[in-house]
Amino acid sequence: MDKLQITGKAILTGSISVSGSKNAALPIMIASLLSENGLYLKNLPALQDILTMKKLLENFGIKIKKINSQTFFDSTNINNSLADYDLVRKMRASILLLGPLIARFKKAKISLPGGCAIGTRPIDIHLNGLEKLGVKFSIENGFVSADVKKNLTGAHIKLSFPSVGATENIMMAASKAKGETIIENAAREPEIEDLAKCLNKMGAKIAGAGTTKIIIEGVKKLSKSEHTIMSDRIVAGTYVIAAVMLNSEFIIKKIKPDLLSTPLEVLQNMGAKLEIGNDSIKVLPSSGIKGIALKTKPYPGFPTDLQAQIMALMSVAKGNSQIKEMIFENRFMHVSELNRLGARIKTKKDVAYIEGGRSLKGAKVMASDLRASVSLVLAGLYAEGKTTINRLYHLDRGYEKIEETLGKCGPIITRLK
């Protein structure tokens, strides 16, 4: 199993261009199942999760071809086979197959998905929403089976929580339902807007994506189109936090800073010096970073996917900090590993108390989930000495060859086989 060895006391120099968003790409790739004759995608990131999703889609008969800078997902002859359990369990996003498969075949069977081991991550909001569209479900032996008698029928759906995945799943199914669907208390994450943009190019009629109320007028058929995946706001935010933590002058390019307004405001309140451009952020060295208290929230609040990274920064900031994790239970698995590097963090239920001003020292640590592992990279780059991160596959799911991407900007990071 691969490991990452990081030489500490690093600084970042120059700039980095952010790649396509994983969380936008996964549902959009799945949306190709809805097209009668395929979908061309640009700016797909080179990540393990994307490869897993390609294999999963190939299971359903989708033929994937790279044509210059585009990837074509040919869905002309798809089938409704049972998805490979080993692929589904690797990725929670596999649950998003349900909506499109039901819309195309009126029935679907997939195994309950896996993904990061953060909390129980149930799928009740997905199922309740799809049920309103006329789908009947049964869960047996680890499989969800779904079928709809005649047609999916538009409905008024109010989500009990603005789940990102449930909003996407329902939106995809409803785009081929009969009549109008309204999703209230919808998640507002920009990746949902990107999916809606792509579906609309395919012929769907979706309005309001990016707000709490999405209105979908069902259409009979979706067809071939082309879409460029938005850039990854979480990867961008990670590199901004890294540059602040390493007190470096560094530019993060090819991004939409608007989509990071809450985390950027938090960083500025902590004392970070940022020059925010139209499609870039320049981090400048600052005279000191101080602690802060924050809560993770659905978009446009502080993203749970940047919680572990900012916690690493808080450990070396002046003064104490506090984080209340409002989205996932059990998303503090990085705490014990950050503590191994010299941080002093305590947790009580969903709150983490972070003592600032710690001087970190390199150690052997274990990655537990995707964002947890990148927080260890940040801490390792800051620490004195060498840090080795085990279970690197978590990191590879969401960051493109981080040793090369960051390696080009100064740090010495080596992948050990």
Catalytic residues: 116
Q: C-beta of 355: minimal distance to ligand UD1 in Å?
A: 26
| CA distance linking residue 11 with residue 203, whole number of Å | 47
Nearer to ligand UD1 (CB atom), residue 113 or residue 154: 113
User: Would you state the structure tokens that stand for residue 76, as one six-digit string?
Assistant: 């002309």
Q: C-beta of 30: minimal distance to ligand UD1 in Å?
A: 10
* Interface of this chain with ligand UD1, residues 324 to 343, rule: CB under 6 A: 327-328
Burial class (CB in 10 A: 0-12, 13-18, 19+), 228: middle
| CA distance linking residue 243 with residue 136, whole number of Å | 49
Place of tokens 């933590």: 245
| CA distance linking residue 215 with residue 344, whole number of Å | 47
**Quick one: which of 193, 194, 305, 396 contacts ligand UD1 (CB under 6 A)?**
305
Nearer to ligand UD1 (CB atom), residue 306 or residue 317: 306
DSSP 8-state assignment for residue 361: B
Q: C-beta of 53: minimal distance to ligand UD1 in Å?
A: 10
| CA distance linking residue 286 with residue 284, whole number of Å | 6
Q: C-beta of 43: minimal distance to ligand UD1 in Å?
A: 16
DSSP string, 375-394: HHHHHHHHSBSEEEEE-THH
Nearest to 195 by CA among 221, 220, 165, 224: 165
Interior angle at CA 83, CA 77 and CA 84, nearest 5: 125
Q: C-beta of 26: minimal distance to ligand UD1 in Å?
A: 5
Place of tokens 């897993």: 52
Task: Check binding of 158 to ligand UD1 (CB under 6 A).
Answer: no
User: Would you state the structure tokens that stand for residue 250, as one six-digit string?
Assistant: 């560094």
Output the furthest CA–CA distance in the chain (Å, rounded): 65
Mark residues 189-228: x for contact with ligand UD1 by CB under 6 A, - for none. Answer: --x-------------------------------------
Count residues near ligand UD1 (CB under 6 A): 22
Task: Check binding of 126 to ligand UD1 (CB under 6 A).
Answer: yes
Considering only 79-87, 160-168, 170-178, 258-266, which stretch makes contact with ligand UD1 by CB under 6 A? 160-168
First-to-last alpha carbon distance for the chain, in angstroms, is 6
Task: Check binding of 92 to ligand UD1 (CB under 6 A).
Answer: yes
Nearer to ligand UD1 (CB atom), residue 169 or residue 388: 169
User: Would you state the structure tokens that stand for residue 332, as one six-digit string?
Assistant: 């503090």
Task: Check binding of 304 to ligand UD1 (CB under 6 A).
Answer: yes
Task: Check binding of 374 to ligand UD1 (CB under 6 A).
Answer: no
Q: C-beta of 388: minimal distance to ligand UD1 in Å?
A: 26
The binding site for ligand UD1 (CB under 6 A) comprises: 23, 26, 92-93, 119, 121-126, 161, 163-166, 187, 191, 304-305, 327-328
